[in-house]
Amino acid sequence: MPENNETHDPNTPLYVGTRKFLGRRDLVLSFYTTKCQFQCTYCALPSRSASFEVTAEQINNQIDHVFDSRAGELDGFRQLCFGNEGSALDPRRFHRESVDHLLHRAREMENLEVLSIETRPEYVKRDYLEHIARTTHAPRIDVTVGFETQDDFIRQTVLKKKISRRVMEDRVALLGELGIRLTSYVLIKPAPRMTDEHGVREAVATMEYLKELCDRHGTELVIYLTPTYVAEGSYLQQTTQPGDWTPPTIQGIFDVVVAGHSMGLPVYTGLWSEELADESTDFRGREGYDPELRKAMVRFNRDHDFSHLLPFTPAQLALAG
Ligand code: SF4
């Protein structure tokens, strides 16, 4: 994988996708901007971005490209998620005038209910969010961050996230004050040499931490689970020895989903590896992989109806017991 994606046309977005996210049809956009400056060890996303300056005008062209080409179907979406494989609220990479342009064009989505912005927590600032709230016509705003794990050693030393609890807690309090929803990524089995059981316990502990924190500040919370995989081109791939890191099992992922649901949390699970890993290096390569269980979890992602998971629950309880 090249270190950066320099051949991409800076006037077209990196990714345009649709999905059903917990009951809402969702337009998902990732824009091509200057790459994220952080170097989290497990992440290869910056390799999709540019090492040069992508101008506001070019980002505006990317936005126009999406809204012009999708004009006939914009009414069908109730959620809009956007990011740039980094932090969309970082004004040096995703220029503020381009965020404004996006909010302006998004007015063509007449049935929009949720505007979701992917960012690191340090860019979550009161004045910027108040400006966005005044500018968007969406009645609800969501901020999506990658807190990943409550384990400080794993988050800061193994993953090199550079996100302290203090910053996270401060931003969750601000979101609560502003009435903005938090979606947090939670990694399942994020550290080398973790057992499957430890990986499940750790993800459940992270959901408990985030729930307690959000409850304390009156912040609405959605959990986005990410089963860890070794991404091609990541620092992790270059430094991991064979056997150091095995992905979680589909049954372990299921246990975490059930635990989150029983805490009353909306849980969505990323059941793919963003084309940054092949099947042998994610949960699909583990012995005992059950594709039917994955399909049931995909259905649960779409409509949040727990009845999809019920046929698998006795087996899950038996495993846990
Ligand atoms: S996880 Fe986020 S902040 Fe870290 S390198 Fe990847 S895109 Fe950047």
| Neighbouring residues of 279: CB distance < 8 A, sequence distance ≥ 6 | 285
Q: Pick from 314, 210, 301: which is nearest to 263 by CA?
A: 210
Distance 32 CA to ligand 1 centre (A): 14
Distance 52 CA to ligand 1 centre (A): 18
Characterise 160 by phi-psi region: left (phi > 0), alpha (psi -120 to 50), beta (else): left
104: how many CB neighbours lie within 10 A of its CB? 15
pLDDT of residue 232: 76
Residue 36 CB–ligand 1 contact under 6 Å: yes
Distance 128 CA to ligand 1 centre (A): 21
pLDDT tens, 101-111?
Answer: 999 999 999 99
| Neighbouring residues of 55: CB distance < 8 A, sequence distance ≥ 6 | 10, 95
pLDDT of residue 243: 74
pLDDT tens, 262-291?
Answer: 999 999 999 976 556 666 678 888 888 999
Residue 146 CB–ligand 1 contact under 6 Å: yes
Distance 38 CA to ligand 1 centre (A): 6
pLDDT of residue 5: 77
The protein residue with its alpha carbon nearest to ligand 1, atom 4, reads: 40
Is 60 exceeded by the pLDDT of residue 23?
A: yes
Across the chain, mean pLDDT equals 92
Residue 120 CB–ligand 1 contact under 6 Å: yes
Residue appearing with tokens 């200057």: 34
Is 50 exceeded by the pLDDT of residue 134?
A: yes
Distance 247 CA to ligand 1 centre (A): 20
| Contact (CB, 8 A) for 144 and 29 | no
Whole-prediction pTM: 0.93
Residue 85 CB–ligand 1 contact under 6 Å: yes
The protein residue with its alpha carbon nearest to ligand 1, atom 2, reads: 86
Please tell me the distance from the alpha carbon of residue 163 to that of residue 216, in angstroms, as a whole number. 20
| Neighbouring residues of 272: CB distance < 8 A, sequence distance ≥ 6 | none
Residue 38 CB–ligand 1 contact under 6 Å: yes
Pairwise pLDDT comparison (225 vs 247), residue with the higher score: 225
For the CA of 85, the nearest atom of ligand 1:
7
Question: What's the number of CA atoms in the CB half-sphere (13 Å) around residue 176?
Answer: 17
% of the chain surpassing 90 pLDDT: 79
pLDDT of residue 318: 45
Q: Pick from 117, 31, 24, 91: which is nearest to 67 by CA?
A: 31
Alpha helix stretches (DSSP H) within the chain: 56-69, 96-105, 126-135, 152, 165-178, 196-217, 235-239, 250-262, 291-303, 313-320
Domain ranges of the chain: 1-138, 146-321
Is 90 exceeded by the pLDDT of residue 120?
A: yes
What are the φ/ψ torsions at residue 151 (nearest 5 degrees)?
A: -80, 110
The protein residue with its alpha carbon nearest to ligand 1, atom 7, reads: 86
Distance 40 CA to ligand 1 centre (A): 6
What is the DSSP track for 38-59?
---TT--GGGGSBSSPPPHHHH
Residue 40 CB–ligand 1 contact under 6 Å: yes
Residue 121 CB–ligand 1 contact under 6 Å: no
